[in-house]
Structure formats: C-alpha cells, structure tokens
Structure 1
Amino acid sequence: MQQMLGPTRFAYTDITAITSHFRDKLGQGGYGSVYKGVLLPGDVHLAVKMLSTSNCNGDDFISEVSTIGRIHHINVVRLVGFCAEDMRRALVYEYMPHGSLDKYIFSSERSFSWDKLNEIALGIARGINYLHRGCDMQILHFDIKPHNILLDINFVPKVADFGLAKLYPRDKSFVPVSASRGTIGYIAPEMYCRGFGAISSKSDVYSFGMLLLEMAGGRRNFHQNAASSQAYYPSWVYSQLAKHETGETSSASISHMHELERKLCIIGLRCIQLNPQDRPTMNEVIEMLESGADVLQMPSTRPFFCGEDDTDDHIAVEGSCHSSSVLTAISEEDE
C-alpha cells in the first residue's frame, strides 16, 4: 500500500523526532547535511537529508518528490518520505548501514573479491539502467560516482542522489554546479562543452565508466602525486592494455591482471569515449558485464583528457574547449 501511495509526508516536528534533534550526522554534501534517524514504532532506521536550499517552490518540490518516491528497484535507494514545511525541505531515505562505495574501493586493503566487484558493478549498472529506461519518465542522474553508490546490509549496491537536481529552481544562478554538472573527474565532456555532443543518458554512461575504472584500479582516476605518465589512470591503463594486446612489453601489473579486472577496465574505457554516440547504452553495459572478458574488445581511441604528456590527444572542438582548463574553471567555480 505504501508503495502505491508514494512517499510519506512528514511534519518538521516528525523530522526532529526521527533524528533526535539532528544528533547523529552521517555526512555533508552539496545538497545539504544527512542525519541518521529512527522511526518508531518498529525501530526503522532512516537517513534524513536536510536540503540546504529552501527557496524552491513547495508545490513543485512535492510533485517532483512524489514522482521519485514511486520508483522502486533493488539497486536504487528508496525514498521513504519528505518534509516541505515553510522553507524547510527534507528527504527521508532508507538507511544504508555499510555507507558509500568509495570507502571500500579506495581502501589500502582490497575489500572485495573480483567476483564481488563485478557483481557490485552489475548492480549499479542495473540501477542506472532502471532510471534511464524503467520509469514512466527518463531520469538522468548526472552525478554517478563512488560516493553516490550506497551499500545495504548485504553489500547490495544502490544508486543514491538521483534526480535531486530537479528539486532545485531552474534559475542557473541558483542551481549549484554540483547539481547541474556533476563532480569533477566524472563529468562527461558534453556536460561542459556543447561541441562534444548532446547531453543525454550517455552522459551518465561516461560517469559510470570512470566509476568502473576506479573500482578496477582501486584508485581515483586522477592522482596528482603519481608519475606524470600514470597521473591520469584511464590513459595509463589504456596504454598498458593496448601494448599488451599487441604483444608489446607492458608492466608486470598488466601482465598479471585478473580477467575480471581487465574486463572492468575495458568496459570502463568503452564508456568514457569522447563521442557520446561511441559509448554503449547502460543496457549494453549490463550485457558486457554479464559476458566473459575474452569476448570484449578494446576501444580504438584512447581516453580524452590524457594529461600533460599526451597533448596530441587533446581535441579541438567548437568553442576551443581544452579539457584541463575547463576542468580547472569548473573546479574553481565549484569552490
């Protein structure tokens, strides 16, 4: 019955009671602060996100939230309820006890086996594909990254923070950069320069590709303190895999790469192609993740934004967009 009716509307007094007056803070993001809560009776554990922006139209907020609240998929975090009282806005989600994926994949010790990592990647892909194709309306996430993938008690991945950009006013001066463009390092080229193509579901595919590469490599896609040739991981792993496929000498780490690690890397590289049309759909990504590594082929072109040593790979397009300068500008704007 609850699923048919959609999310519950809570009064602000309910929110303060659920969170014990905002006692246990779980985190802080571009949209606001998240607090752990308990709903009685039943001791149902919840995560309550207090939105830092409260000037949006109340009716629009409720309409958007009602739509998002009717979305149910095992790999998408469920919106349990919301609060829209005066200028105070809150979103109430199911609580994910194991937190976000980033603390596991960037850990100094490997947290998951390769089989488990592939299973998690498949779950994430299914969640994103559901947002793209399984709902009454297409929902584009625009901020796929490890921090926005939450893990339940059984380490089942769930896509979080989907559709939240829609909860903000359309006035560009008001929407935060994180809401309109995503996060530095995961943003598809077309999100910051229209010369690369149209913004679409393929923009989420790009971000997912970066996520896959980080899961495979156990490191962030750009490492400032690494050697210049290895600073941008997608470029480095592409070069090593390409050399390995042609029989050229490659590093020992590539020679001894697990087949699932290689598979995740190849799929990730195919997802981050510069031209959106060259990227697979999320449905095709699922098929690749379900297949064996031996049937996958390397993309013919290397990753965009390949660092200072790969200046010949920078492509001039409409507006003379240069990846590093654009990313720097966005980063400064985000700060």
Structure 2
Amino acid sequence: MAVWLKYCIPLLSLWLLSTVAEIRFHEQCKESSCGIHEPPIRFPFRIKGRQPEWCAYNSSFDLHCTYTNHTVLQLSPSVKAFVKSIDYSTQLMNVSLSYPQGCLQKSFNFSGSPFGFNHDVGLVLFNCSVITSYTNTDHSDIIAPGNFSCLNVPGFQVIAVDFSSSLVDMPVLSCTRIQSLLSLPDSVLLNNNVTGLSWFQPDCKNCERNGGQCKIKENNTKHEFHCMGTPTGSSKWKLLAGILGPFLLVSVGVIAYYLYIAVTETRNYTRFRRFLEDYKADKPARYSFADIKRITNQFKEELGQGAFGTVFKGKLSNEIQVAVKVLLNTSTGNGQEFINEMETMCQIHHVNVARLVGFCADGFNRALVYEFLPNGSLQNFISSADNKDAFLGWEKLQNIALGVAKGIEYLHQGCDKRILHFDIKPHNVLLDNNFIPKISDFGLAKLCSKDQSIVSMTTARGTLGYIAPEVFSRNFGSVSYKSDVYSYGMLLLEMVGGRKVTGVSTENSNHVYYPQWIYNLLENNEDITIHIEGEDARVAKKLSIVGLWCIQWHPINRPTMKAVIQMLEGDGENLEMPPNPFSSTSAASTSNRGGTGRLIQELDVISEIE
C-alpha cells in the first residue's frame, strides 16, 4: 500500500494540477474583445490590463483598448494599427495604420517584429532639384513628396518611385537616387491606410483549423506552446470531473485506509482499558511511560531481547531491582501479546513462576515490570558435565527440572483457568539467588477452561527445536497442554546433553540429533555422561528417560506434568525406557509395552477461551 501511494499520488497530483492549470487558462484567458463590433481576442493575443501576461505569446502580441473601444496594436513607437478583423486560422488581420506624416521610411522600421505586411511594396527614393516636371505631370507611381519631407534639404525635394514602375517618362533626369525602401504597406500606393498584417510564430493555424486553441506552456522561458481543446460551459466541468473522479476515488481510499488504522488502534486501546479495569482487583502497580524511563535510567542496561520486545534492568528503589520488558510498538499483533501476558500473570501466584510487579499502558506504549532474578536464564548454565566452570551439578539441575515441572503443572491444573505456555525453553526459565527456577515470558500463552485442553490454532507458535509436532501438523494429534510437555522434554534433554551434537563413532564424521544420541546410549546401557567425583550420574539417566517420555511424537503417548513430577521425585530405578520417539513404529510399540499405561491419559476435547 505504501509503495503504491508513493508513486501514484504524485502522478495523480501532477495530472490534477495540469488539468486545473488548463481550466484556469480557459477562465482567465477566455476570448474577449474591446467592444461589441471589435474582433475577438484570444491567444496569441491578449488585452493588456485585462488579462495576465501569460495569456499572450509574448509582449509583441499585447493589444490595447482605446477609450472609444477600438482595438489597437502598437507596431512600433510611431506606428499604431487599428485592428479591424482577425482570422486565426490563416493568422492574418486587417488593420488601419496610423503613422506620422513626413517620414514614412522611418515609421515602418519593424526590425525584430513578429508581424509582416501581407502585401508590401518597394520604393526607391530620389533627391530632385527640378520639380516643375513632377508638378506638371500626373504620375500615379510617384509618392507624394510630403511623405518624405524629413529628408528634404534646401533647393531639393525627395520623391519615391515604385520598384515596378518604368523610369522612362518620369521627371527624374535631374534627380539623384539616395535610398531604397524594400517593404512598405501597399496602402501607401493605394492612397489609403488599410492593409493586411500577418504573423508566423506561433504557428497555430492547424490547431485553429481543427477546432483547437493554442496555449503557452507555463513556467517556460522559451515561449513554447501546445494545442488543446476548447471546452466551454458544461464541458469544462465534465473535463474536471473526469480528472477529479479517479483522484477523489484514490483519496477516499487512502482516507478510509488511515481511518481503519485509527479505528483499529482506538479499538485496541479501548480493549486494553477494559481489560485493565477487569484486572485492577489484582492490584499490579501501574506506571506511566515516564516512570518506566526513570526506572530503567533511560533504558541504560539491556538484559536481553525477545520476539515481542526488549528487557531492561531497572530499580524501584535502592533495595528493589526489577526487569522491565518493553513491548514493541507495532500494529501487527494488535497488542495481543500484552493482553496475553497481563491476563496470565494477574492470575498466577506460584514460587516457580516469575512475579509481575507492575505494568505500563500509557497511550500506545506497553511495558511489563517483573521481579529481577540475578542469575539470569537457565540458558546461561546449560553445559556439558565436563565443563566444570559452568556445570551446576546433577542435584541442582534436578531441583531446577523439578521446579520447572511444578510451575508448568500449576499452569495446567493449579489456576482457575488452564494456561498453556507454548514457549517453554531454557531462555524463558529464570533463576533467583538460590537457583530456584521461575517460568517467564507468557506472550504466546493461551487460556482455556479448566476441564478442557485441546486448543484451536491457526498458526504455529513457539521456538524452533522446542515446538511439538502437532503444532506444525495435525497429523500427529490435536494441540493441547501436551504441547508444553514436549517443550519441557526438550529442555530436560538439553540440560543433560549440554546442547552437544556428538558423533556416532570416531571413524564416522556424520552427526546425529542429540536426543537420539541420548536414546541410543540408554538403549545400549552406556553411560550418558562423564563420572565426576561427588556427582550422582543416575540423575542424568533419570532426566534423560523422563525427557524422552515427554518428546513422544503423538501427544497421547506423553505423560502429564503431574506424572512427570512423580517420576522426577522417585529414585529413577523403576523407570521404564519409553518407545523410541525417532522410530516410525514408536506409536505402535507403545501400546504393546507393559507398565506404560500409567503414563498415558485420554485427553478431553476442548475449545480455547479467547
């Protein structure tokens, strides 16, 4: 949408401006005249003082109206042409010339003028000392001497003879040729002052003959022009409507789009406000965005980043430290992750779930304030047993695994509503000073009624590597609380294997998926970890078996979290090996193995609570 607007709106704007300019030309430069009986005036002419300069081709085409309403064209400083008629299709006008008598050759010096006489004549000037012969002879080809009196000198008189005349019988024998005038109006020979005047540029003859009208291009210093139609009356408005229609349609579309965004944002904000009113009884502290900035010292210390925002370290006081999760301000999720986490955290009070201290819903700024857990996430302590600097020890790892299991069991069975986390992984398990685990990040959580557990989902959610198969494909079963069990099983196996992918043999460079590597070791009764003095390696085996039970492909073959806790609290000696989750026959073998029935429970078909 943004790309389309980027290119289309400027083009439509130019199109509209061009059309408006054309209509403005017709309005301000519309045909006019000096009087009822005077010729119509339009491009390339204009009536000076009545119309803008750009209505004329250039200043040479400026016409004036006299106080008697006659149309006048100033050909030169000394010559005026009273315009009688104008034929735009032939670019010819009839004019009556007015010029000072006695100096004809100076009056018609039109150098640089765009106009020329339609019928001109050429004259030769003679300076004569004998005048009697001219005076007594009737020669019509001789121009009256008074027309050139400005050239006379004492004892001589100037006369003019037409180029086409014969000089044989003319009284010029005692005359001296002094000058030639090549282009004068033929009216000087016809004893009148009406003549034809034409112009050659701009050449609009074809445009006029086809019913069009020339118009100068705006903002053009070269006086270029183009031919356009001559809409009048209602047709002008039809032209404008034809151009404005698509433009207005696009404008309405753009306005509707932004109104939709505004309404959606307003609706989301209203939803937030109602939600906060519903849950204010749980009394989490509410902070303004200015408070969040102050608490985090202008977001100075970043603890980590997630799919929906960034976590910063903050202080409520010198004694109380917090972790502030600032959610991304985007419209793609409609703020659902904020509501998910708020709705979930306001109902949870458990030692193995991170505690919500407060929240921020200031305008479109969203933030969640949690208790600060100094040891960070379990991800920082996932390491193989041979890494003594980072390895926590099997007893501590079992306590962490048991605490996480109790936290998930509380989410599934201990709340008023069943909460499905959908993003169980080491990164979302935080550790306090005593390494007590606390589940965090409920942005993907789903709530459903207590007696139901199968959830309808349109898209997969979670982190690759921890997402249960049924979340990707319903061929494995329905999405339910067993999806959290699968993620927990991957977490256990990662705690055991230290995220290591180990070769099958020293001679084979091929590698296998590390949960499968663990299963192969157990099935062959091989040790899955290095023996360390003071560490009970049986814990690793127990965690591995429980983890492999949890990652069975089909949800119905996985244990509940209650059963997981029972297995973790036992000594592990009586745990049976689960079916091979990496074998296509694992589902069939499950039903044939004794002793596993206690781990398999039928699922209640349920619907998700929105």
Tell me if both proteins adopt one fold, taking TM over 0.5 as the criterion: yes
| Contact 1:140–1:162 (CA under 8 A) maintained in structure 2 | no
Q: Does 1:77 align with 2:77?
A: no
Q: Secondary structure at the match of 2:348?
A: coil
1:140 aligns with 2:420: yes
In structure 2, C-alpha distance between the alignment counterparts of 1:80 and 1:236, rounded to whole Å: 42
In the alignment, is residue 96 of structure 1 matched against residue 373 of structure 2? yes
User: Offset of 1:63 from its aligned partner?
Assistant: 8.3
Contact 1:240 1:254 in 2 (8 A): no
Equivalent position SS for 1:139: strand
The residue that corresponds to 1:319 in the other structure is none
Q: Does 2:386 correspond to 1:106?
A: no
Residue aligning to 1:213: 493
The amino acid of 2:565's aligned partner reads I
Structure 2 residue aligned with 1:49? 325
Check conservation: 1:35, 1:47, Cα contact below 8 A. yes
Q: Structure 2: how far apart are the matches of 1:214 and 1:160?
A: 18
Q: Which amino acid aligns with 1:102?
A: Q
Deviations 1:229-249 (A, max 9, x none): 6531111111121122xxxxx
Given the superposition, is the C-alpha separation of residues 166 and 270 from structure 1 closer, same or farther in structure 2, using an over 3 Å criterion? closer
- TM-score (norm: length of structure 1): 0.77
Aligned residue in 1 for 2:145: none
Asked if residue 32 in structure 1 is aligned to residue 313 in structure 2, the reply is no
Give the alignment's Cα RMSD to 1 decimal: 3.1
- Correspondence for 1:160: 440
Question: Is residue 482 of structure 2 the alignment partner of residue 202 of structure 1?
Answer: yes
Give CA deviations for 1:25-83 in whole Å, capped at 9, x if unaligned: 1111111110000013x531000011114436679956861552231100000111111
In 2: Cα distance, 1:99 partner to 1:46 partner = 12
Counterparts of 1:242 and 1:100, CA distance in 2: 32
Counterparts of 1:64 and 1:160 in 2: how far apart (Å)?
Answer: 9
Aligned to 1:124: 404
Q: Which amino acid aligns with 1:210?
A: M
Code of the residue aligned with 1:275 in structure 2: it is: H
- Counterpart in the other structure of 2:467: 187
Structure 2 residue aligned with 1:236 = 517
- Partners of 2:397 and 2:407 in 1: CA distance: 15
Local SS of the residue matching 1:37: strand
Aligned match of 2:542? 263
| Superposed displacement of residue 5, structure 1 | 2.9
Contact 1:140 1:201 in 2 (8 A): yes
Corresponding residue for residue 20 of structure 1 = 297
Contact 1:234 1:303 in 2 (8 A): no
Q: Considering fraction of residues, name the structure with more helix.
A: 1
Q: CA deviation at 1:224?
A: 10
Looking at structure 2, the residues matched to 18 and 290 of structure 1 have their Cα atoms a distance apart, in angstroms, of 41
Deviation of 1:106 (Å): 2.8
* 1:296 and 2:575 correspond: yes
Take 1:18 and 1:224, find their aligned partners in 2: how far apart are those partners? Answer: 49
- C-alpha change, 1:62 and 1:258, in structure 2 (3 Å) is closer
2:306 partner letter: G
1:295 Cα deviation after fit = 1.1
Measure how far apart 1:182 and its partner are: 0.9
Q: 1:225 to 1:235 in 2, by over 3 A?
A: closer
Query: Would the aligned equivalents of 1:10 and 1:81 in 2 still touch at CA under 8 Å?
Result: yes
Q: What letter matches 2:581 in structure 1?
A: P
Check the 8 A contact 1:230/1:236 in 2, yes or no: no
Say if 1:63 and 1:158 are closer, same or farther in 2 by CA, change over 3 A: closer
Q: Paired residues, what number? A: 289
Q: Which has the higher strand share?
A: 2
- Report what 2:285 is aligned to: 8
The Cα offsets for residues 279-335 of structure 1, whole Å up to 9 and x where unpaired, read as: 000010000000011110001x2124x8xxxxx6799xxxxxxxxxxxxxxxxxxxx
Aligned partner of 1:262: which letter?
Answer: K
Determine if contact 1:82/1:92 at 8 Å carries over to the other structure: yes
Mapped partners of 1:90, 1:166: distance in 2 = 20
**C-alpha contact 2:425 2:488 (8 A) present in aligned 1:** yes
CA displacement at 1:111 relative to structure 2: 2.4
